[in-house]
Amino acid sequence: MIEVKSLTKYYGPVRAVDDISFQVKKGEILGFLGPNAAGKTTTMRILTCYLKPTFGTATVCGFDVHKNSLELRRRIGYLPENVPIYPEMRVRTYLHFWAEIKGIPGKKRRGEVNRVAERCGLENVLSRPTGKLSKGFRQRVGLAQALIGDPEVLILDEPTVGLDPKQIIEVRNLIKSFSKEKTILLSTHILPEVSMTCGRVIIINEGKLTAIDTPENLDRHLRKSHRVIMEVKGACESVTHILEHVDGVQAVRPLRIRENFFSYTLDTDIGKEVRPLLAEAVIKNGFNLLEIRPLEMSLEEIFLKLTTQEAGGKGR
Amino acid sequence: MRVFSIFKREIKAYFVSPIAYVILAIFLIIIGFFFYNMFMYFNLRSMQMAQYPYMARGMSLNEMVVRPLFQNMSVIALLVIPMLTMRLYAEEKKSGTIELLFTAPLSDVETAIGKFLAAFFMFFLMSGLTVLYPFIMSRVSTIEWGPVWSGYIGFLLMGGAFISIGLAISTLTGNQIVAALLTFGMLLFFWMIGWSSEFVSGAGGNVLSYLSLIEHFDDFAKGVCDTRDIVYYLSVIFLGLFTTVQMLESSKWRA
């Protein structure tokens, strides 16, 4: 559905997007992940024909951003980052205006506006001015706008930014509900969002594509160590000493919980089950083992690792 | 069809904000004041002339009221039109709606024409309401309507040229005040450029005087619809629209 080939965009001398290539298949939700100013918005703007790439090509539904921009734009619904609205227009007139612009014939316009409004839960605010809506409703108006004309591809730039937790869940569910019929490309810098909504993730940093895979695979491949948490009663120094000498342990970080009780976070070698050895070592030396459990390394850490490695590689 | 959608939205936007009412009020009050003064002066002169009938030959409402009125209207248009055009693109740039507009299946030509027509409609409304003044004169005296209509044709063409320059300039910035000031400066410059034709000799002087936005208007106010002047204004309108579309296209490559 979406095909991007060695896309590069310069803003003057600044390279905002650097040689990015990827593909999105029909019916897929692809998450675009990266720190702020990584080039997510720029890439999306190129795909929606708001900007022209300096080098490279991109096609959506087989239409090129240069040659068939109008046809391409007919097939995408776009939600820009800050959900631009005309504040003086009411929600109904606003949606109606975009239905006109997107070429919905006069007779069907009213039905189309009602359809997208219902889909996004806007029935009760249709006569409110868009400028007076809360952030959550404004976001839904933006989504409704993107849905007008039933486009095949949705491009959503940070759809949940600035919402409260309840609204985030609502918008996320809304996006998931589209996933059956549409191909979706969404960007975010909130990591749990990606593992919750997206089938595949692209990690992008400083304009470069760092990784592209499913959230699970990313998790598996990029993990350099396992992590174990232990709680042990006894003197910290001696326990640390004992744990450090267990085979497969890379590092031990103790944390005091209360008098004589310490929690230890251990990095252990990958592919090795060290928990029995750890338990044995503790007990053998006469300490009380209160807890031992594996700690999942979150996507956040993987992401942080990926993006900081990249910066380090450039000699900063 | 899409041009009409843009046009409708722009007109609504003018009337939802106080901008349309303020501009209409200012324009009509000032023109009304000019009209009153010139008409009363003419009245005074006519009463003086009544005692010396042989001097009354040169007295003509068209020459002494209509023509200066058009000249004053053109000065006020120079001041008011930047206020009309400043928001056209600048506001959309500021609020970000331009991103939706550019990513919708709609060509830049369509938005430019829709916006131009909306501002032109406002200007048409403003000018239309001033027809009241010649009408008042025709009730109490006799005027020739020919030069009045030709004056209006010229006034609308000139306004169209101003608007298309303002439209192009409003694509440059996201700040409405900057857009208005730049437009005002640009219009004033092309207004005054004819002045230096007096002492620039030969072809250069002719070119300068041909470029001047106001020189072409005077013929219309006199009652002369010269195709040269019509072509001049139409080409300025076209150039403005063309520049607008080019600017929009180039902004996609730059940032």
Q: Dihedrals φ, ψ of A121, to 5°?
A: 70, 45
What domains lie within chain A, and their CATH numbers? 2-221 (3.40.50.300), 224-296 (3.30.70.260)
In chain B, the number of structural domains is 1
Of residues A268, A263, A234, A237, the one with CA closest to residue A251: A268
Most confident of A139-143, B14-18, B165-169: B165-169
**With an 8 Å Cβ cutoff, is B105 touching chain A?**
yes
Measured N-to-C along each axis, helices A299-313 and A215-222 cross at an angle, to the nearest 10 degrees, of 60
How do residues B85-96 score in pLDDT, each as one tens digit?
999 999 999 999
Q: Dihedrals φ, ψ of A262, to 5°?
A: -130, 145
Q: How many residues does chain B have?
A: 255
Distance CA B7, CA A174 (A): 33
Q: What are A19's two structure tokens?
A: 């040689």
How do residues A219-270 score in pLDDT, each as one tens digit?
666 666 678 888 888 888 888 888 888 888 888 888 887 888 888 888 888 7
Distance CA A292, CA A232 (A): 9
Under a CB-based contact definition with an 8 Å cutoff, are residues A104 and A149 in contact?
Answer: yes
Q: Mean per-residue pLDDT for B26-46?
A: 91
Q: How confident is the model at residue B255 (pLDDT cuts 50, 70, 90)?
A: low
Contacts of A45 in chain B (CB under 8 A): 99
Distance CA B185, CA B190 (A): 9
How do residues A100-157 score in pLDDT, each as one tens digit?
999 899 899 999 999 999 988 899 999 999 999 988 889 889 999 999 999 999 999 9
CA nearest to B14 within chain A:
A88
Under a CB-based contact definition with an 8 Å cutoff, are residues A191 and A299 in contact?
Answer: yes
The H or E element containing residue B97 is helix B97-103
Query: Domain range spanning residue B236?
Result: 2-254
Distance CA A255, CA A68 (A): 60
**With an 8 Å Cβ cutoff, is A131 touching chain B?**
no
Q: Dihedrals φ, ψ of B37, to 5°?
A: -60, -45
- Give burial (CB, 10 Å; 0-12/13-18/19+) of A40: buried
**With an 8 Å Cβ cutoff, is A77 touching chain B?**
no
Interface-testing mutation among B16, B100, B111, B248, with chain A (most A C-beta atoms within 10 A): B100
E strands, chain A, in order: 2-11, 14-24, 29-33, 55-60, 63-64, 76-79, 153-157, 183-188, 200-205, 208-213, 226-233, 249-258, 261-268, 288-295
**With an 8 Å Cβ cutoff, is A73 touching chain B?**
yes
CA nearest to A15 within chain B:
B255
How do residues A18-35 score in pLDDT, each as one tens digit?
889 999 888 888 988 887
Of all residues in chain A, the percent with pLDDT exceeding 90 is 26
Q: Mean per-residue pLDDT for B167-187?
A: 95
Q: What is the ipTM of this complex?
A: 0.87
**What is the pLDDT at residue A312?**
42
Residue B161's DSSP bridge partners are: none
